[in-house]
Amino acid sequence: MKVDVDYVENAFQDNLYPRLKSVGKYIKKM
């Protein structure tokens, strides 16, 4: 199975930013 690099990078970025925001909110609570 050939992996589309652009698709993987876009998916990673789409998942990464919301996670960073979630982590930021979590850290602020501590």
pLDDT computed for residue 22 by the predictor:
85
pLDDT computed for residue 11 by the predictor:
78
Name the domain count of the chain.
1
pLDDT computed for residue 1 by the predictor:
59
* DSSP, residue by residue, 1-30: ----HHHHHHHHHHHHHHHHHHHHHHHHH-
pLDDT computed for residue 6 by the predictor:
84
d(CA 8, CA 11): 5
User: Per-residue pLDDT tens for 1-30?
Assistant: 577 888 878 877 778 778 888 888 888 887
Conformational region of residue 2, where left means phi above 0, alpha means psi within -120 to 50, and beta covers everything else: beta
- For residue 29, the enclosing domain spans 1-30
pTM of the predicted structure, to 2 decimals: 0.36
